[in-house]
Structure 1
Amino acid sequence: MSHNSSAARYSLYPRTPVPASSACRSPLPSSSNNYLTHVNASVVNSATDSAVPPSMNAQPTHAIPSTSTHQLDHSTHLARSFPHPPAPLTQVPFFQRPYHPAPATNAQYPSPMQPSITVHQPDSTYQNNAIYQHPPHIHPVQTTQRGQSYYGNGMFRESRDFSITNSTFIDNSITSKPSDNFMKEFLQHTIIGAEFDSSDRHPPPRCHPGTRLAIIERCKNFIVQCDGKEKIRWVVGAAGVGKSAIMQIVAEEIPADASVFFSVDGRNDGSKLFATIAYQLAVKYQQYRQFIRNAVNCDPSLLRKSLPAQFRKFIVDPFIHQHLFNPSQRFIIIIDGLDECNNPKTQREILGLISDFCINHSASPVVWFVASRPEPHITSLFHNVRITPAYTKEEVEIDSDEACEEVQTYLRDELNEIKLAYPTLTHKREWPSGLEFTKIATAAGGLFAYASTVVRFIGKSHYQDPATLLCHVLEVIDAGFKDDVSRKDHPLALLDMLYRRILDNIPPDVMINTRKLLLTTGLDDRWERVNFRHTCNMLGLSEAAAYGAVSYLHAVLKVPAPDNTVDEDIAFFHKSFPDFLSDFKRSGFSHNIKDETDLFFFF
């Protein structure tokens, strides 16, 4: 294609060049039949097709079209001829400065930045016979060292083929750090809610103010004085003497570095014991957390390994082999209710691992507190000659003078609170009378479970006044004394009599529903507990029927409020009551429950 050397072509648009018949630098009279348009454009030499970049102070260039001048169709970007010369066009300024559209060819700019112009709208529109040129959208591209373009989210997104020198950029973008889910995943392999300050145990059992002070002090002294192999304190006692309350105070006041309070109420998986301890230590100590993180990253199956394997990795390695901690420190680990762990074999395995650790690593900084009932399989292990050097025994006796005095303190304070809460009792000079109080205190002895059950039975009822219920308690006590029940031979005999009296107060027509609810509260492992509302729905009980069925068990059963039935389920105050129900010789009750509900489980 040939061009006249004296002619010039003016590029008004990025895609389609607009031909002009001639060009000049001098203005024409306004009366001319031709029309003017002021265009700041790059002039393309017709001989070389090379672009001449315009200067910032370029003079307006006037295109003088002829009758053959083409008009651009903005919808198709095609050229067509004017039928007659159009009216004069007016220049539309862009941001009060000359606008230089891109050349039609791949011209090289002297600037270090070579923008690539992309027009997303038609190149021009007609406004009052004026050509309006839209400003371009410039999209630079980021380039790698090897020249490969890639697209980011920054200010140069989708740009390409340019470089920038001697410039300063400030990036105000916000980059979020990926979340670390290690501890969340670790938590799923623990006994959730078993720590001493867990909301699942709130309010936890605590010693009454001014009670159990001597035992608690001896436990604290053991932490300071223990040395060598003797690093286990075995707190042992019958059901209801207050072992968990003692361990709770010790855990709070020291405080414990890790604690696990086993319970038949859903926190009894012994296979997760050491993972639970490790998790709590990882929460407190950064170096331990990093050690466990590395161990689990190296072997993700660690959290599902056997108890011995976990004990080596969670206890032996960090405290003995890796020396993560100062050996002069003391790390307190509390295990309460070991007898409530789900498997006697697991209980013995746990004790064996801990005792062997203390014997083989006498310089260990870890001090262990283990509280349990004197179950035969636990007692026999502690009596093993090989284990004897590893522990000392703290026995919580029922009928010691110290225990009896503390139970009396508790009874006196709680019964006085009941008196102040009921106007019908406040006018009485003494309630209960001295003789009545002595009977209750004698029956309770040093058994806090008995005393607390009496207090709840008398003071928490919604259907009878405290004075009447006190009479019921005294009748049970008199019957026990008449039968010459010996606590020495049967430590819980008087408590059993109290439990039987509580059940006898339930009307026969209500007992049907009470039996079902008691069964689903943990007496039978065929039932998977969720919450109180779910339990009632499965049993087909209305809210009124359900609360009526448990209203007589306020002394032994924790019942969620009506507005909290989705989050909580009914639970026993003390394990001695489900033990009583499950022993047919003591209650004559449990076998009947299971027989009567076999049909229910079938459906």
Structure 2
Amino acid sequence: MPFLADSQHTTITGGHFVDQSIGPINVSLTNGQTGIGILLEASNPDAAHDSSARDYAPRCQPGTREQHIEDIVGWGAPAVGADEPLPLFWMKGLAGVGKSAIAQTCAERLKDLGRLGAAFFFAADVRDDAEQFFPTIAYQLSIEFPDYRDLLEQRVRCDKTILKKTMAAQFKALIAEPFQELEKIGKGIGRRMVIIIDGLDECKKADDQSRIVEIIAAAARDGVTPFCWAFFSRPEPHIEASFTPEDVTQVTYIALLPVSDDANSDIELYLRSGFKNILRHRNIPVTSQWPSDSDIQTLVKASKGLFIYAVTVLRDVDRAGSLEEALRAVCAATSNSTDGSLFAGLDAFYTLIMRRIPPEKLPTVLLLCTLLCNAGSYPGSETYSGVMQWSNILRLSEIDFRATCNQLSAVLHIHDHSDTLDFSQFGDTDCPLQYAVPAFVEGLRVHVRGRLGGSIHFYHKSFFDFLIDPTRSGPFYVWSSPMDNAYFKHCLEVVLKCEETYHFQVSELILAHGVADSASSLSWPYTNELVNSMLKACIYGWAFDTCSRFGASPKIESQLLQRFGCADFRKARQNQAMLYAGCRHFMAYTLWGCYGRRKIIRGTQLFHAPRDEFRENFDATKFKAKIKRWKECGIIQRYYPNFGSRFKSLVAKKYQDKLISGLFCVGHGPKSVFWYWEINLKEEYYQEFLATDLAEGEKTFRGEWDLWLTELRWYT
């Protein structure tokens, strides 16, 4: 019997109890946070199949994709007496063929059958963090299985570092071992349960995608958990490679969801049902058929087997002022396309969406698309989807920002979060960020960047793919030279505008004279100074980092780089220190675009790109080219110290040790900082420091470097 199962009208405050129902498990009830509560904080509730964040998740219309759904549901819930199916299922297919709709529908049916253990629906930018994956699965399983929940409660409370360990260690501690323990004492789950993983290819890092498959495949092969796992993803090469080993293929069903005319009947049914729903929602009775059979067939032909085409067309028509005009425009764009490629119909439709944007609004819309595409490719550790952050970076009011987004309503989604956050937990809301409790700064920063004002993202990755492929998007290609320069120029103007509103007081950034508060610098401010100062610091930091990264591109015009060289690098670095106060370290780009781990100690910014990042990101040719170009544009000047031989030897080129280094001033006069970098070709790493005080920077670099690297190894 569960612990205190039949108790009534009971109040417990503190104490220590032993529940012997599933073995000698101590459950300590204190005023502290529960283990399950800690697990919930480390998870992503939005990834569940029935989360409110996925209200508009694609699902199959009745009568469509039935064979695929029956195959998967039958695999997960086999008939009585049937042979036990293999423990893994992988459905692969190109973007837009309907994998997520099938996954969602299967999750709902398996839930109705009592066979769904958990589900994680990945999505770029919003649900893409591998560190949340196993905690999320474990939390959902704890809701389904009370005995497992009790074990998990104790494990997490006793060792909170479980949630900071590797994915393999998390899987073992949170899932494998607890269920093995339950099995030993006769409390196994007793039936086949399915865990669904959709959109694995949208997990942030390719290595994490492969690692998830490897961990689960090894567990399935060795039978260490009672679950079967269904994956839905694009056939990316690294994911294909993870399913290729013989010991994995032996335990995996692999199904291809092809782009084929065979799906046309399902797409036709989906379109007809969707148009009926549009009329019903608008309370429009019709006596004649709309759309006509001819229009339906035009759309079906244009889809070329891609369900995302039908989904996006319905969304576009539903949001139009005139249904008939919108439908005629879509059909005309499709009919006029002479491209015979797979994505011809989809590209024609996406092009139509972009061409409908009024010319005076198109530059702002393209800038928004560029921002979102660059954020989508940003491999950082945080989610950059907060609506208020993007609105302020674009320097648009709330009304203007939402009006801009409405131009892309068929492909762009703004999720208005209903949850409210008590910002007073981060400090006095009337005081600026400088006075916030350092331990709480990270939580405030993550919320502002990821959720403040809502979150924004493309409905489907196919629109992202369209925008970054010049052969598909043509004049709307967001990574063209003109767009790169427009994007760089805009971010530079944000940097220069932000730095004007600050000045130094000793070593702190405070508001400049005549600047009443942070809200006066924002196009869409929040309601208190604490959040506004964080919001301002976020957009300043984002814009400056963007200029640093894009400044490595040979496409950026020299005159823009020269203007960047006049920026206040000291203020920008102090803003980073303020933004990441209390943070042990964080993932970031270097001044020239390399990616790795950064830490700020006493005003000195340390950066280290270890072997993996070095091999993946370091390009010696590009590095040399950037040094040369930045010198030519006056952004950096080589610095020759004259205060002792110790530092001179530090910056000398040591070819015998395969160590190359350099020391520069970045910026001009009192706005400059010192930049020291070194590359070890033998050990394969890059590291640097940025400091306003060179002697202090060198002291910190040498004095604390080994300690920090030790901390990094422990943390990772």
Q: 1:546 and 1:192 mapped to 2: Cα distance?
A: 28
After superposition, what is the alpha-carbon deviation per residue over 1:351-383, rounded to whole angstroms, capped at 9, x for unaligned?
Answer: 11111111122x742110111011111123223
Counterpart residue type for residue 596 of structure 1:
A
Q: 2:277 and 2:158 mapped to 1: Cα distance?
A: 58
Aligned to 1:365: 226
Task: Answer whether contact 2:35 2:154 (CA < 8 A) is retained.
Answer: no
How does 1:334-483 map onto structure 2 within 5 Å?
334-361=196-223, 364-401=225-262, 403-418=263-278, 429-462=288-321, 465-480=322-337, 482-483=338-339
Aligned to 1:316: 176
State the shift of 1:426 in Å. 6.4
**Secondary structure of residue in 2 paired with 1:570:** strand
After superposition, what is the alpha-carbon deviation per residue over 1:99-128, rounded to whole angstroms, capped at 9, x for unaligned?
Answer: xxxxxxxxxxxxxxxxxxxxxxxxxxxxxx
Counterpart residue type for residue 336 of structure 2:
A
- After TM superposition, the structure 1 stretch with the greater mean CA deviation from structure 2, 425-434 or 549-558, is 425-434
**Secondary structure of residue in 2 paired with 1:393:** strand
Counterpart residue type for residue 194 of structure 2:
I
Q: 1:575 and 1:297 mapped to 2: Cα distance?
A: 39
State the shift of 1:334 in Å. 1.0
Return the match for 1:235 from 91, 99, 113: 91
How does 1:189-204 map onto structure 2 within 5 Å?
189-204=42-57
* Structure 1 gap ranges (5+): 1-171
* Structure 2 gap ranges (5+): 1-8, 15-29, 420-450, 496-716
State the shift of 1:498 in Å. 1.4
Q: Evaluate the alpha carbon distance shift between residue 406 and residue 184 of structure 1 in structure 2; reply closer, same or farther with a 3 A threshold.
A: same
After superposition, what is the alpha-carbon deviation per residue over 1:35-69, rounded to whole angstroms, capped at 9, x for unaligned?
Answer: xxxxxxxxxxxxxxxxxxxxxxxxxxxxxxxxxxx
Counterpart residue type for residue 543 of structure 1:
E
State the shift of 1:405 in Å. 0.9
State the shift of 1:221 in Å. 1.1
Aligned to 1:262: 122
Aligned to 2:405: 550
Aligned to 1:570: 456
Q: 2:405 and 2:134 mapped to 1: Cα distance?
A: 37
Q: 1:434 and 1:175 mapped to 2: Cα distance?
A: 67
CA RMSD of aligned residues (A): 3.0
Task: Answer whether contact 1:271 1:346 (CA < 8 A) is retained.
Answer: no
- 1:329 and 2:191 correspond: yes
State the shift of 1:579 in Å. 1.9
Task: Answer whether contact 2:47 2:121 (CA < 8 A) is retained.
Answer: yes
After superposition, what is the alpha-carbon deviation per residue over 1:196-252, rounded to whole angstroms, capped at 9, x for unaligned?
Answer: 111222232211122222211111111244866820011111111221111112212
Q: Evaluate the alpha carbon distance shift between residue 561 and residue 386 of structure 1 in structure 2; reply closer, same or farther with a 3 A threshold.
A: closer
TM-score (norm 2): 0.54
- Structure showing greater radius of gyration is 1
After superposition, what is the alpha-carbon deviation per residue over 1:263-287, rounded to whole angstroms, capped at 9, x for unaligned?
Answer: 1032101132112211221232222
- 1:596 and 2:486 correspond: yes
Task: Answer whether contact 2:200 2:232 (CA < 8 A) is retained.
Answer: yes
Q: 2:359 and 2:370 mapped to 1: Cα distance?
A: 17
State the shift of 1:304 in Å. 0.6
After superposition, what is the alpha-carbon deviation per residue over 1:450-495, rounded to whole angstroms, capped at 9, x for unaligned?
Answer: 0111122223124xx2222222222222233x34x043xxxx2321
After superposition, what is the alpha-carbon deviation per residue over 1:368-405, rounded to whole angstroms, capped at 9, x for unaligned?
Answer: 0111011111123223223111100222222252x211
TM-score (norm 1): 0.64
Number of aligned positions between the proteins: 421
After superposition, what is the alpha-carbon deviation per residue over 1:127-154, rounded to whole angstroms, capped at 9, x for unaligned?
Answer: xxxxxxxxxxxxxxxxxxxxxxxxxxxx
State the shift of 1:411 in Å. 1.1
Larger proportion of helix: 2
Q: Evaluate the alpha carbon distance shift between residue 194 and residue 513 of structure 1 in structure 2; reply closer, same or farther with a 3 A threshold.
A: same
Return the match for 2:70 from 217, 225, 238: 217
- After TM superposition, the structure 1 stretch with the greater mean CA deviation from structure 2, 232-241 or 180-189, is 180-189
Q: Evaluate the alpha carbon distance shift between residue 205 and residue 432 of structure 1 in structure 2; reply closer, same or farther with a 3 A threshold.
A: closer
State the shift of 1:290 in Å. 2.4
State the shift of 1:558 in Å. 2.0
Q: 2:181 and 2:279 mapped to 1: Cα distance?
A: 60
Q: Evaluate the alpha carbon distance shift between residue 374 and residue 493 of structure 1 in structure 2; reply closer, same or farther with a 3 A threshold.
A: farther
Task: Answer whether contact 1:229 1:358 (CA < 8 A) is retained.
Answer: no
Counterpart residue type for residue 197 of structure 1:
D
Q: 2:415 and 2:175 mapped to 1: Cα distance?
A: 39
Task: Answer whether contact 2:53 2:415 (CA < 8 A) is retained.
Answer: no
Aligned to 1:165: none
**Secondary structure of residue in 1 paired with 2:260:** coil
After superposition, what is the alpha-carbon deviation per residue over 1:79-102, rounded to whole angstroms, capped at 9, x for unaligned?
Answer: xxxxxxxxxxxxxxxxxxxxxxxx
